[in-house]
Chains A and B, each alone.
Chain A
Amino acid sequence: MDLELAPGEFVALLGPNGAGKTTLLRGIVGLLSVLAGTIDYDFDRATSPIGYVPQREALDPTFPLTVHEVVLMGTYARLPALRRPGRAERRLAAESLDLVGLGALAEERFGSLSGGQTQRVLIARALAAQPRLLVLDEPTAGVDTEATAAIMKVLTRLNRDQGLTVLLVTHHVRVLRGIANAVVWVQDGRATRRRLDDVLAPAELDVVPGGA
């Protein structure tokens, strides 16, 4: 498998269920050890952490945390042990929340948010780490059309206005039109760069659950 991402690109990982999209993603962010080969970054991960947005089901909504506290966790990436988040980190968290359009919900309970709002809060948390690469694992899974559009709008703005490199796994192929620079088709242990129009062909959509 050979895959290269250029700075400022917006790339989607596509492929059938069980093809290894999430596995590839988890390898890229360091959650899985690579058995063979290497993954290289053109930035220092210690000073420029990866912004990671997990599937929202991975997080326990019963934790007594406000939206602001969750976003503040993004700033922990750059904070050493024993240093608590200060005024600068709180401001950064508030700005990140504003960027995803949810500044008004800062004091709401994280667990009380809708699926779409939760995803945008997790994007804000990733932004609070001030990343150069934003990696998202199925950010539009289980959210309605309106929320999907809102999430993609946020990601598009971050990519175009701030030059953030975005890599995401999704099954919602059609929402990528006009947004993604390229798609990477993952199947049978291979990752192949393709044009989005090729993937949007009806025959391919048959093997992408939710893609039609």
Chain B
Amino acid sequence: MSTLVEVLRPGFLLHDALVGSVLIGIVCPLVGVYFVLRRMIFLGVALPQLSAAGIAFALLLHRSMVGPHLHIAATDATLARVGAMVFTLGGILVLATLERRGRAIVEARIGVTYAIAGALTILFLAADPWGEAQMVNLLKGDLLATTEKSLTVLVAVLGAVVVTLFAFQKEFLLVSFDHDLAVVFGKAVGVWDATLYFVCGITISFGVLAAGPLVTFGFLVAPPLTARLLTRHMLSFSLAAAAIGGACAFTGFCLAYRYDMPLGPAEVAVACAVLLVVGAGAWVHQQLGRRAA
């Protein structure tokens, strides 16, 4: 209780990190809902890894062309954002194109993407010792390094993502649930698919930069899977996923602060624990229902 009071009091030292955590906890599940519904969960692993590779590449490029970089400089953050977005959006573009052409099975494409991204991340880091320290922090989840400025950018970008998701929910649902019907209705299916992928890419890029690939993947997947066990409407599914994600991020933050644990892994562990508990509850409920029947 004292931790809760301390965390919520005005002027709390890690206020920006707390807000950043909860924001990512809320927005990543809203995007993850579509990953789960489209049965592309593994894309949630591959894309954050691709984003990390983009960051490593951007830092390496900076060192090669400009010289050693200072990781506290604003240009580094901008560079990292550009690298993350280019790699993530590029990866989405290639995967979406291959999906349309129906080449190889989806899991194989995503698996290869993950392997390539992982290998590239390590190779880029090996060539740039300055980048390595920053990337290690990033992979652990560097939410504690959130500043007022980076938080402002995060709020603006993720806020735009939320508005886009709710504004075009009808279109995103139609192309995700029944692609063919959307074509028959004459909808611009390619545009809506591209918009959805773009929103996913932006969320993942900024999520990885703020919290690391582990946290981003964890919140893309665990809260939507939990929410699906509890809801039966599309809107309530999205809202429940966001609420569960936000609550798990907040709880994880409090636990990490109270017990001096790494922040990102603590948040993901809470989200996964909630999924296990709700999953077990749903299973018991189902068994009881069968017996009663």
> Is A84 interfacial (CB-CB < 8 Å)?
yes
Contact for B185 among A58, A69, A77, A85, CB less than 8 A:
A77
> Is B233 interfacial (CB-CB < 8 Å)?
yes
Q: A60-B37, A60-B39, A63-B37 are in contact. Are A46 and B178 (CB under 8 A)?
A: no
> Is B255 interfacial (CB-CB < 8 Å)?
no
CB-CB under 8 A from B168, the residues of chain A are 81-82
Selected interface stretch from A13-21, A49-57, A139-147, A204-212: A49-57
The B interface, classified by DSSP as helix, strand, loop or mixed, is helix
| A63 B177 Cβ-Cβ under 8 A | yes
Among B178, B184, B232, B237, chain A packs the most CB atoms within 10 A around the CB of B184
CB-CB under 8 A from B167, the residues of chain A are 82
Distance to closest chain A CB from B278 (angstroms) = 14
| A64 B233 Cβ-Cβ under 8 A | yes
> Is A181 interfacial (CB-CB < 8 Å)?
no
| B185 A49 Cβ-Cβ under 8 A | yes
| A31 B185 Cβ-Cβ under 8 A | no
Inter-chain CA distance A76–B177, complex, in Å, is: 13
- Which of chain B's residues 30-52 have a Cβ closer than 8 Å to chain A? 37, 39
> Is B228 interfacial (CB-CB < 8 Å)?
yes
| B184 A29 Cβ-Cβ under 8 A | yes
Inter-chain CA distance A76–B234, complex, in Å, is: 15
CB-CB under 8 A from A59, the residues of chain B are 177-178
| A31 B178 Cβ-Cβ under 8 A | no
**A 60-102 binary contact with B (CB < 8 Å = 1; else 0):** 1011111001000100110101111100000000000000000
Contact for B177 among A46, A50, A60, A81, CB less than 8 A:
A60
CB-CB under 8 A from B169, the residues of chain A are 84
Output the nearest chain B residue to A125 by Cβ-Cβ distance: B181
| B186 A45 Cβ-Cβ under 8 A | yes
> Is A172 interfacial (CB-CB < 8 Å)?
no
| B171 A64 Cβ-Cβ under 8 A | no
Distance to closest chain A CB from B39 (angstroms) = 7
> Is A184 interfacial (CB-CB < 8 Å)?
no
CB-CB under 8 A from B234, the residues of chain A are 63-65, 69
CB-CB under 8 A from A83, the residues of chain B are 170
CB-CB under 8 A from B185, the residues of chain A are 49, 76-77, 129
Output the nearest chain B residue to A72 by Cβ-Cβ distance: B170
Inter-chain CA distance A125–B171, complex, in Å, is: 16
Contact for B178 among A62, A73, A82, CB less than 8 A:
A73
CB-CB under 8 A from B187, the residues of chain A are 76
